[in-house]
Chain A
């Protein structure tokens, strides 16, 4: 056994599965295990100051001993395809490091791979970190307790930045770099201060030197050379950047850079002050870095609303901003530039992510028409109903054969547009053979009723789908409707809220039966046509909660068979059913591992919820009672508290029954 543990590849492989607690236990096993466990414990350090403004009285002279939180970095991808590093927030970390702790850190500095610092980590700055692969610097000054500490441009600030630069210089293996709020506020009135990207430029220069020195050395192995150099750069700005700033960043990036993510407000008016838009275009055209993916997240920061931006707001714009305050509907005229630069200068563009920027229909249309055919692999954008006439068809016409990922966020789709939604989704499913990911986030206007279904699966079944490689299908919908329900919708009647009845002559029974059939055939379509599906984001079974009891039995029996349950080991799938005999048998036929998987998903809020008859009856009674109470409340609005209401409903109970 000791031979196995002598081999660090093997021990790495074993320790990577252990949690922090287990790794700490391993520290104490024996002298031979101690260094191995230490290595894994110290992979990553996050320390940043999360001062709460009302916390001025916190006693920082005796900090609790455990505050230094090495964590394993853990990236996840949200539904919109954005990778977010999960630097966790600790809301009560004290603010200084004791000498002993500092010593411990120094001893283990060479093991640390990932570091995030801000102003509060001042006394860490002389620790010899030399092996970092991820580094994040945040100069967000309003978080410091003492405002004088973080005076932009002041002594402290310069010191922090100077040492950060040194750190970057000393760590040639850096792969990811995140620089937040490292530049000063761009003075809106023009003129003035140093160029916005000063610090970033210096960082880039240092990085260039890394690249040059590493390429001059003979590479140790073939894998080393492909991995060297910075992979991802993320500047986060408090003020605004202009296209010119973006150009300078891109031009000075080391050639190994593949991802550039800029969080800032893009000052659409900045180009007024530059005399030569053509120069910008030329600069973009000269960019040699063809592998670069540029993401521009145009976000507004919620600190102060003194952006008295004289944007030309049409009445629709104004309506937009009140409804979705995080969305900036930028002035169309200036996105013109961005689009033409993109199309002209990035001939090998394969993935484009517009983030939260809404591009108007005509510009998007022009962009998609000029993009070479058969090239686009992935697109993420916001769409409005007017996109359905020209933009989406053009997209599909020109790029359907190559598209692998489509992510659309809807704006302004009113609830009676569900035909359109299922229509365009069907169009996508039937024309993109290479599609692997389809995410559609429907718009939720102020007046949309969350109980109403927002996707017609009947429509989706009309034609055969060609995308057999689809892995992710996410619609964030609350409910799927059967066709008969949609006619009810049009009439303005909501079928879901009908009181439950088990009368066999109930005409609604037919509707429900039809619905079950559609759901079952949709499900079998999913199973047969999309064998690689691993992430499915429909919560369609909420409507099945209220179907009449007999139908529920039939539905549970036909849908929750052993095969189907096995295939349902998908994430993001919520199904409600009845624990009929057949279903009980099916559940019993599952292996332990499969049952554990279902259990785990259930805890996460998605999964298969199967209720026994009794539970089901009780649930229905409960919900019916709650509904009656609501009705009474509406009728007898003089009741001020629930106490009255209880008595009243008890009084009138006999009337109801």
Chain B
């Protein structure tokens, strides 16, 4: 069974129901709507991003559904991204963040996790200046403010 997804710029995408249901949002919508053929509008997702998202869901269509863990387990690893996923995420930054936002909106947890791990890997090991460069951020601290932050948080840096 196929469903039709409509991006914000009015482009139609035909996908298998199984693939579309990797998105919990779509899954719930389909359950509510029932056996209808009407296309599902996704006003927050552009066509380009939707293409990527559908590509991800297609590749992972047979993955087991993960049960969300309740316990607050902070020991998280970000170096266990699969190869295919890593290549998939090699896009420009803007697209990366669009994918993350789309995964969040559509409630596709694995994709969201992969996206966030990728961003975390970009941040890892960099100095603040390098992070700013990587994300094109302007430094809006005054030098005094910077010095104060540094002093306050010296203890945190040594571990």
Q: Could you tell me which A residues sit within 8 Å of B by CB distance?
A: 1, 3-4, 7, 9-10, 13-34, 41, 43, 65-75, 104, 113, 133, 227, 591, 593, 596
Contact = CB atoms under 8 A, between A and B. Distances in A.
B144 interface: no
B88 to A, nearest CB: 15
B116 A13 contact: yes
Nearest to A21: B157
B119 A14 contact: yes
A431 B101 CA distance: 49
Contact of A30 (B72, B125, B141): B141
Interface of B: 70, 72-80, 82-83, 93-94, 97, 100-101, 104, 112-113, 116-117, 119-121, 123-128, 131-132, 135-141, 146, 149-150, 152-159
Nearest to B124: A22
A74 B94 contact: no
Contacts of A65: 154-155
Contacts of B155: 65-69
Nearest to A76: B75
Nearest to B156: A24
A95 B151 CA distance: 21
Which 6 A-B residue pairs are closest in the complex by CB-CB distance? A66-B155, A17-B120, A28-B128, A17-B78, A13-B116, A72-B74
A581 B121 CA distance: 36
A41 B126 CA distance: 17
Contacts of A66: 154-155, 158
A41 B157 CA distance: 11
Contacts of B104: 7, 9-10
A26 B124 contact: no
Contacts of A71: 159
A33 B141 CA distance: 11
A2 to B, nearest CB: 9
16 contacts: A3-B97, A3-B101, A4-B97, A10-B100, A10-B104, A13-B112, A13-B116, A15-B120, A17-B116, A17-B121, A25-B128, A28-B150, A29-B139, A41-B153, A74-B75, A133-B72
Contacts of B78: 17
B132 A10 contact: no
For B76, B116, B141, B146, which residue has the most chain A Cβ atoms within 10 angstroms? B116
B98 to A, nearest CB: 9
B159 A21 contact: yes
A72 B75 contact: yes
A649 to B, nearest CB: 49
A32 B97 CA distance: 17
Contacts of B79: 596
B138 to A, nearest CB: 7
A236 to B, nearest CB: 22
A25 B116 contact: no
A14 B149 contact: no
Given A25-B126, A30-B137, A16 B101 contact: no
Contact of B141 (A17, A31, A596): A31
Contacts of A43: 74
For A28, A43, A67, A133, which residue has the most chain B Cβ atoms within 10 angstroms? A28
Given A13-B113, A17-B116, A27 B100 contact: no
B154 A29 contact: no
Contacts of B120: 14-15, 17-18
Contacts of A21: 156-157, 159
A29 B128 contact: yes
Contacts of B125: 22
A7 B149 CA distance: 24
A256 to B, nearest CB: 13
B74 A74 contact: yes
For B74, B97, B152, which residue has the most chain A Cβ atoms within 10 angstroms? B74
Contact of B149 (A22, A28, A227, A593): A28
Given A1-B97, A22-B125, A70-B156, A29 B146 contact: no
B135 A1 contact: yes
Contact of A29 (B119, B137, B153, B158): B137
B76 A17 contact: yes
Given A34-B149, A74-B75, A22 B123 contact: yes
A25 B157 CA distance: 8
A292 to B, nearest CB: 18
B93 to A, nearest CB: 7
B157 A1 contact: no
B131 to A, nearest CB: 5
A601 to B, nearest CB: 14
A562 B5 CA distance: 42
Nearest to B79: A596
A75 B72 CA distance: 10
Given A23-B156, A593-B82, 13 more contacts: A1-B93, A1-B97, A7-B101, A13-B112, A17-B78, A18-B123, A25-B123, A25-B126, A28-B141, A29-B132, A41-B156, A71-B159, A113-B72
Nearest to A43: B74
Contacts of A15: 120
B124 to A, nearest CB: 5
Nearest to B119: A14
A596 B141 CA distance: 39
A23 B135 CA distance: 16
Nearest to B75: A74
Contacts of B82: 593
Given A10-B116, A25-B131, A30-B137, A104 B152 contact: yes
Contacts of A18: 120, 123-124
A26 B154 contact: no
B159 A30 contact: no
B83 A30 contact: no
Nearest to B137: A30
A560 B46 CA distance: 49
Contacts of B140: 30-31
B70 A227 contact: yes
Contacts of A70: 156
For A16, A26, A65, which residue has the most chain B Cβ atoms within 10 angstroms? A16
B152 A20 contact: no
For B73, B127, B153, which residue has the most chain A Cβ atoms within 10 angstroms? B153
For A65, A66, A68, A73, which residue has the most chain B Cβ atoms within 10 angstroms? A66
Given A65-B155, A70-B156, A28 B100 contact: no
Given A20-B156, A65-B155, A72-B74, A26 B123 contact: yes
A78 to B, nearest CB: 15
B123 A593 contact: no
A327 to B, nearest CB: 32
A14 B131 CA distance: 14
Contacts of B158: 66
For A25, A66, A68, A113, which residue has the most chain B Cβ atoms within 10 angstroms? A25
Contact of A28 (B72, B74, B146): B146
B126 to A, nearest CB: 6
Contacts of A41: 153, 156
Nearest to A15: B120
A20 B126 CA distance: 12
B83 to A, nearest CB: 6
